[in-house]
Structure 1
Amino acid sequence: MAKLSRGRLQNFRKQTLLHSEGGHTMMSTSYFYDSEHAPLIEKDYTLDSADKPLLEGLFTPETAAEYLSNLSEEEQKKLQAYKLEYEVTSSISTQAPIEMRDEWWAQLLMTGHSSSRRKNLLRFFQKKENAKLARAKKKVENEKKMEIHDAEKKIMMGDLLYNPIKRNTIHLKILRQTMVHQTDSKLAQSMIFGRPFVVDMSYEPYMGIKEKNSCVDQLLNGYGANRSRNEPSDLIFTNWIHDSFIFKKLNFIQKERSAYPTLMMKCTEQNYVDLFPKERLVYLSPHSPFELTHDDPDNIYIMGGYVDLGGGKQGQKPVSYAKAKQEKIRSCRLPLDKYCVWGTGVKSLTLNQVMNIMYEFIDTKDWSRAFEHVPRRKLQRDADLREHLYKKQQKMNRVNRRQFL
């Protein structure tokens, strides 16, 4: 039997049909060779083509309704088959949501190309539904607790002294929206007069879906840390790729979540070399031979927005250091060995941890306080630290004896 390559397998199309037999609706699946769309050469499966279904899987209720209303005849048949499969799964198993939303159907139709993938999606939708029901239940319980608390307070204080609006306090309540406006004005001022801090986003084509999702979460945590500072930095994302996965997910998070109603940061397609003079640029790289000892106010630090979850014990590749050498700009690494005694595992930090360390170092000029943002689980414990220092002292003594001999 001839072995088909990956490029040849794409010519076979999956066809799902519904037909009635003996009063029952049956679903049959068959494969046929699509000669009209058969390519002349084998398809090059790059990372972007593999990520395309997940890029299009971020739906809102409006976009999902529009997508489902413009389905082709073949896609409508596939959707009917998926609905029948969902009814069967929900009747014989508990790993399916009680009610499917339009955006879930659209995402299932877009990315559920295999039965295992559809089962995982249904299980994920069920978790989201359970979390929403749990939040609604907790909200009702909190409202009941507040009613009981107000009733007890009213009985204790009397009708004349009790005021349910002001809560019997002389202090004015600061609304959350007022705090958001104050923070946004502080960020807007930093975007004009603040010290730049650059994040290089040119590594997105080299990351997979897990790395991209992790990169978005870490960058949002770093943005939140910069937002809470007294004097925030001017956060600039250079080499920005529009209509990419990270761009779409940030827009999706901003619309769906109310934690960050406005993401006040600069995004540009230009390179940092075109925005700032090379003499001021300093690229932060863990593979650089130079150590960052002091902070120069004229320095503009660059951090690579690259997440490598598959580095393992072999360590990450020195891509940021190679890029700094290629562009002929300075590079340096954080003095981790001087101020931290690392425990077991790979000596690596996440993007938000590096941003927190640099924020603290820029504000206080003190590495000891800056490295307090390193998680304690990555450092050695007290007993291990004493053993490490003892072995280090023994090694230094042996070196000194050799010099005298």
Structure 2
Amino acid sequence: MQPTIMGLASQFSQRKVKTFLDIFLRTERGLIHRTPYLLVNRTLKTETKPRPGDKSVFTSKSSPDINIKSKSETEKLLNKLKSLKGSVSEKLRLSETMTPELEQLVLENQPNRSFLLRQALVEIKGAEDRTKHLLSLPESLTVDEWRTLISLQDYRSRLTYLQSIYLGKDCLDEIRKQDEIYSGPLQISEEMISELVGDDKDERRKIKIFQGHHEMLRQEGQLLPSSVTEKNLTDILHLTGTSRIKKYLSFMFKTEISQFNEGLRKAENAKRTEEMKKIAKEKKANANHIVYGLGENVIMHRISDSTMNSFFNWIAVREFHEWGIPLVIDMSHHKSWKMDRSSKKSLFTELSNSISINRMYKTPFQLHITGLQEEHMESLKKIVPSVNEPDAAFNATSQNHLDLFPAEKMVYLSPDSNNDLQKFNPDDIYVIGGIIDKGNDRLPLTLSAAKRLRIRHARFPMRQHLGLTGDLNVDSCVAIMNDLKASQDWFYSFRWVPSRHLGNRVKTNLNPSLQHQLAYRAHRHLTPNSWKGETESVRNLNLGPAQYRMYYQKIKDCKTREELDELLEELKI
């Protein structure tokens, strides 16, 4: 049964009513094609109880003690919904426009094509009922457009064609070419294969086996990926067994369909942006007063990303003087130790994060990335284009760190060392190993390098302050050292330890202690690497040592979920 408009009043807060108003308005304007009541029904099924302190919810039988603060404004919204109800409910969706008479015209007395038409209608209905990756569809199709639609083999081509009609684009030839790729056998260029495996017959046989599995599943009518990247091809060479091949094909398809949906969304947003610009331009032309907003009259100046980037870079560049304290990331290990593609990508992502984290502090380190080979320098340029610019926030060089700084001042940070680093010494130069250690490939490279070069070595005292040990990412080490330099507080500095280390201690133990569980809860809510989003990350980053310790203990002391939510509400920026 469809919920009534006034029924919404007893179920939803003012915020949710506004959300539904937006859905109705977008539906009325043709921005999305979906039955609004379907969304209402789905939300009613999953509606949670009002949170304590939420005073913007209507009083109902289930919540008799909730105050009514903004009833008049919410009633206005409900009246607007009621006025829209008639116009929206009368509008047919595209899947509902197919009549028996229209079906006969589309099929042209060829009943064997009825299956293709049914399949297209199922896909259209699925697109209309989406809860994410919303897709705008045309209100109706001509007979020729229906015939063109069912002539396409792959459903991705059909969705692209429907969107092109809605957007008014004439790109049928391109869609047909892509449809041949979607529906045909998996093609892997000889150039890509030669570059990766050369003339190795065993490796080429693995690729042929993978293509064979793809073809068999394609003949069965399963949805499969249509292209292969270099990374995919590298992973394919390590697959053993039919089950793993099928799972990897499923993974590739999910990745490809996600990119496909993103492409549809961007195309639709581009048109919507043009329409909004046109409306704004007309509004400005007809305005009899000063126009306010971005790009118009505003109280504050708009600061661009490039301005912010230059500001943070200058903070880091400023430290490249005699008063600055060097911090080294040593990349020389890779001259004798080779990484696979995924590890290399992870490492350079960590380097990029290290540069960003370091320059956020008021007095960052002089960051030196040493021992870079030519191929590593090229990879670094891809993620940090300003690597060779005068205002770069770091120094990237092929020189060894021993060529830049005296060995007697250096301390190599290694998780394999038996020496705990008790405190930060501004006269020492700390070295972090630029490596990725995981799985069976883990080697004590940093400790052996320190002993070979006859320089001091130490480890973070994680067991002493957190009760655990672990190998940390390069960017986590850089962040910890920055906090330690500023506060000389190890417990506070270890807020950068990824929450998974504390979580694994709880999850892998059959009977985890209560203290470990509480420590994990407090740490994951206060780490700057927050899983909740950017707002929480910035909030946690701005906490000082005393605040961090206070809220850490308060979160551990919370007895109920409501008490925890109320405490986290205090922390909001």
TM-score interval for Structure 1 and Structure 2 normalised by the shorter chain: 0.5 to 0.7
Following the alignment from structure 2 to structure 1, what is the Cα–Cα distance between the partners of residues 232 and 495?
Answer: 47
Match status 1:219 vs 2:351:
yes
For 2:292, give the aligned amino acid: N
Shift of 1:334: 0.4
User: Which residue number in structure 2 is paired with residue 270 of structure 1?
Assistant: 399
Q: CA contact under 8 A between 2:437 and 2:471: conserved in structure 1?
A: no
Q: What's the counterpart of residue 44 of structure 1?
A: none
For structure 2, the 5+ residue unaligned runs are 1-184, 186-192, 198-210, 240-244, 507-511, 520-573
User: For residue 361 of structure 2, what is the amino acid of its counterpart?
Assistant: R
The answer to whether the 8 A contact 1:283-1:331 is kept is yes
Kindly report which structure 2 residues correspond to 1:114-133, keeping only aligned pairs within 5 A, or say none. 123=253, 127-133=258-264
The one-letter amino acid of 2:408's match is E
1:280: which partner in 2?
409
Q: In the superposition, relative to structure 1, how do residues 141 and 233 fare at CA in structure 2: closer, same or farther (>3 Å)? A: farther
Task: Find out whether 1:354 has 2:354 as its counterpart.
Answer: no
Equivalent AA in structure 1 for residue 475 of structure 2: N
1:306-334 deviation digits (Å, cap 9, x = unpaired): 1122149xxx4322112111111000110
**TM-aligned CA deviation for residue 290 of structure 1:** 1.1
Query: Which amino acid in 1 is paired with 2:305?
Result: R
What residue in structure 2 maps to residue 336 of structure 1? 462
1:179–1:283 CA distance, 2 compared to 1 (3 A): same
Q: 1:169 to 1:301 in 2, by over 3 A?
A: same
Alpha-carbon separation, structure 1, partners of 2:482 and 2:414 = 16
Return the match for 1:190 from 319, 325, 340.
Answer: 319
Q: Tell me the CA shift for residue 251 of structure 1.
A: 2.6
- Asked whether the equivalents of residues 408 and 455 of structure 2 are also in contact (C-alpha less than 8 Å), the reply is yes
- Separation in structure 2 between the aligned mates of residue 163 and residue 386 of structure 1, nearest angstrom: 53
Cα deviation digits, residues 239-259 of structure 1 (max 9, x gap): 21112xx4333233346x9xx
Amino acid at match of 2:514: D
**Aligned position for 1:236:** 368
Q: Give the deviation of 1:269 after TM superposition.
A: 2.1
Distance 1:387 1:270, change over 3 A: closer
Structure 2 Cα separation of the partners of residues 120 and 360 of structure 1: 43
Amino acid at match of 1:341: G
Correspondences of 1:77-116 after superposition (within 5 Å): 94-96=223-225
Which of 365, 378, 398 pairs up with 2:488? 365
After TM superposition, give the deviation of residue 340 of structure 1 in Å.
0.8
Deviation of 1:181 (Å): 2.0
Count of aligned pairs between the two proteins: 292
1:52-78 CA distances to partner (integer Å, 9 max, x unpaired)?
739xxxxxxxxxxxxxxxxxxxxxxxx
Which structure would you say has the larger RCO, counting Cα contacts within 8 Å and 6 or more residues apart?
1
Among 396, 418, 428, the alignment partner of 1:289 is: 418
Q: Which moved more, 1:110-119 or 1:184-193?
A: 110-119
Which residue is equivalent to 2:380?
250
* Cα distance, 1:92–1:306 mapped onto 2, change above 3 Å: same
* Structure 2 counterpart of 1:372, one-letter code: R
Equivalent position of 2:265 in the other structure: 134
Q: 2:500 and 2:290 mapped to 1: Cα distance? A: 52
Cα deviation, residue 388, structure 1 = 11
Indicate the structure with greater strand content: 1
Aligned partners of 2:219, 2:304: CA distance in 1, in Å?
44
- Partner amino acid, structure 2, of 1:173: R
Q: Letter of the aligned partner of 2:341 in structure 1?
A: I
State whether structure 2 residue 298 is matched by structure 1 residue 162.
no
Return closer, same or farther for 1:108/1:361 CA change in 2, 3 Å cut-off: closer
Q: Which has the higher helix share?
A: 2
Q: Distance in 2 between matches of 1:340 and 1:112?
A: 37
Query: Partner residue of 2:446?
Result: 320
Q: Is the 8 A contact 2:352 2:384 kept in 1?
A: no
Contact map agreement 2:359 2:393 (CA 8 A) in 1: no
Partner of 1:178: 307
Deviation string for 1:70-111 (max 9, x for gaps)?
xxxxxxxxxxxx9xx99x9799665345xx8xxx89x69997
Distance 1:90 1:297, change over 3 A: farther
Cα distance 1:122–1:147, how it changes in 2: closer, same or farther (>3 A)? same
Residues 386 and 333 of structure 1, relative CA distance in 2, 3 Å threshold = closer
User: Using a 3 Å threshold, how does the CA distance of structure 1 residues 308 and 136 change in structure 2: closer, same or farther?
Assistant: farther
In 2: Cα distance, 1:163 partner to 1:357 partner? 44
Asked whether the equivalents of residues 411 and 458 of structure 2 are also in contact (C-alpha less than 8 Å), the reply is yes
Cα gap change, 1:172/1:307 in structure 2, threshold over 3 Å: closer, same or farther? same
Letter in 2 for 1:250: L
**For the structure 1 residues 248 and 110, does the alpha-carbon distance in structure 2 shift closer, same or farther, using more than 3 Å as the test?**
farther
CA radius of gyration, larger in: 2
- Structure 1 residue 300: deviation in Å? 0.6
Q: TM-score, normalised by structure 2?
A: 0.42
Structure 1 spans left out of the alignment, 5+ residues: 1-25, 27-49, 55-81, 390-405
Q: What one-letter code is carried by the residue in structure 2 that aligns with 1:286?
A: P
Comparing 265-274 with 159-168, greater Cα deviation is found at 159-168
For 1:171, what is the secondary structure of its paired residue? coil
Q: CA deviation at 1:302?
A: 0.3
Change beyond 3 A, Cα 1:388–1:253: closer
Distance apart, 1:374 and its partner CA = 1.5
RMSD of Structure 2 on Structure 1 (CA): 4.7
Q: Cα deviation per residue 1:337-378 (whole Å; 9 max; x = unaligned)? A: 121133xxx722222111111111112222122011123342
| Distance in 1 (alpha carbons) for counterparts of 2:347 and 2:401 | 20
Question: What do the CA deviations read for 1:156-181 (whole angstroms, capped 9, x no partner)?
Answer: xx741433455553222222222222
Query: 1:276, CA displacement in angstroms?
Result: 0.9
State whether structure 2 residue 425 is matched by structure 1 residue 302.
no
**What one-letter code is carried by the residue in structure 1 that aligns with 2:362?**
N
Does the CA-based 8 Å contact 1:198-1:301 persist in structure 2?
yes
**Alignment match, 1:375:** 498
